[in-house]
Structure 1
Amino acid sequence: MMKTIVRTLLFCSALFMMSACENEPMSNDDAAAAKISQTENVSFDVSNACYTTDLIAGQYYLAGHIYVTMDATKVYVTYSTVDNWRIKGTHLCVGDCNKIPQTGTGNPIPGKFPLATSNPSGVQQVTFTINKSDLGDCFCVAAHADVSRPGQSETAWAKGDNFPGSNWAMYFSLCKSNCVDEEQH
């Protein structure tokens, strides 16, 4: 099963990099492939994360964390919830900061982000894999999620810089030099 997940992740990361956060909508085939790039109900080790930020729900609630880890060839972005929060869906764009899908007024359009998941019953962790060689030395991460806990559903964003629009959506930037490959230890 793990080999199937890894192959799926590699295939989907290739599809992701072809779309590279462009403002063009994905075809239904690309969207379907991107949705299976999640590693649902598989615990991903985030102890060696080189970047961690909070996953903020409804502007005020800590729903979890976003972890970025890297190895020699891949970048991994992991959404992980805390307490009784569950991830119902995700939208992720990793790449050129100027190519994150946005409206003319600077609000991000998560529905046009190239990677997405749908988890109607809710999961606690989702990890995406991106080819490191397809990213510039520095890149942006816009990580959006639909989260819920008993009696409450919220939209959530990885804590970072505000988009120029009028909502509270956020993104963060990261450089490869901030992360040390495991092989270099």
Structure 2
Amino acid sequence: MKTKLFYLCLGVITLTMASCESENNSDSSVNNLAAKQNEVVNSTNVNLPDFSPCVTTDLLAARRFDAGEFRVYFDAEKVYVEYETNEDWYIRETHLYIGDQELTPLNRRGEPVPNNFPFGGVHPDGEQNVVYSVSKSTLPKCFSISANAEVYFVQNGEIALVETAWARGERFTQTSWGMFFDVCQSSCW
């Protein structure tokens, strides 16, 4: 009986380790993507191109609040993405995926996992404008963008709401409201 229990425990430990190893492999592909696209810059000191954005979509908080806009710009060398909130909304955290759609970090149900997106930042003082830039040479001709943020709404000087926000696009699944949209470089530059 003790031998059977020993082998049962050994089997559970082996399965657990194998499961962790496959999760680490998917994390490493995301880390490799981040290393490949290491020219991401987060901040308000990035100068956006002096022309109109190629794509503009809503930044939706809690599926129903218009918290701002998400924009995509191109210049000769880079793609710029901009989160900009409306007057009383602020950004606490951002998560960004930009690249081949099939490499988007998803869970087993096909829902996006923003904490595993290769780009992002924490904005403890609350920002209303966050910009990232990525070298065009690291991206395919057509690619997907999935932009997530934690935002909050200020009313009478107090935080009244804290919500998850997504740049409006197509939903990954019907059960999740995580979204993405596609962009082709030839359409924008």
TM-score for both structures, normalised by structure 2: 0.74
Q: 2:179 aligns with which of 170, 175, 179?
A: 170
Q: Distance in 2 between matches of 1:65 and 1:43?
A: 18
DSSP-derived class of the 2:115 partner: helix
Q: Is it true that 1:24 corresponds to 2:27 in the alignment?
A: yes
Q: Is it true that 1:158 corresponds to 2:161 in the alignment?
A: no
Q: Distance in 2 between matches of 1:149 and 1:44?
A: 26
Offset of residue 120 of structure 1:
1.3
Q: Is it true that 1:118 corresponds to 2:126 in the alignment?
A: no
Tell me the matched-pair count: 154
Letter in 2 for 1:166: T
Identity across matched positions, percent: 38
Deviations 1:47-79 (A, max 9, x none): 510111000000000101111000111000110
Q: Which residue of 2 aligns with 1:63?
A: 67
Q: Which residue of 1 aligns with 2:111?
A: 107
Q: Distance in 1 between matches of 2:122 and 2:162?
A: 15
Offset of residue 38 of structure 1:
1.0
User: Which structure 2 segments of 5+ residues have no match?
Assistant: 1-24, 155-159
Say if 2:49 and 2:74, in contact at 8 Å, map to a contact too.
no
Runs of at least 4 residues off by over 3 Å:
40-47
Q: How does 1:1-185 map to 2 (within 5 A)?
A: 23-24=26-27, 37-40=41-44, 44=48, 47-150=51-154, 151-164=160-173, 166-180=175-189
TM-score for both structures, normalised by structure 1: 0.76
Offset of residue 86 of structure 1:
0.4
Q: Distance in 2 between matches of 1:109 and 1:130?
A: 21
Q: CA RMSD in A?
A: 2.3
Say if 1:106 and 1:165, in contact at 8 Å, map to a contact too.
no
- Counterparts in 2 of 1:120 and 1:41: CA distance versus 1, 3 Å: farther
Say if 2:79 and 2:135, in contact at 8 Å, map to a contact too.
yes
Deviations 1:122-146 (A, max 9, x none): 0011111111011111000000000
Say if 1:23 and 1:99, in contact at 8 Å, map to a contact too.
no
Q: Which has the larger radius of gyration?
A: 2
The higher-RCO structure (CA 8 Å, 6+ apart) is: 1
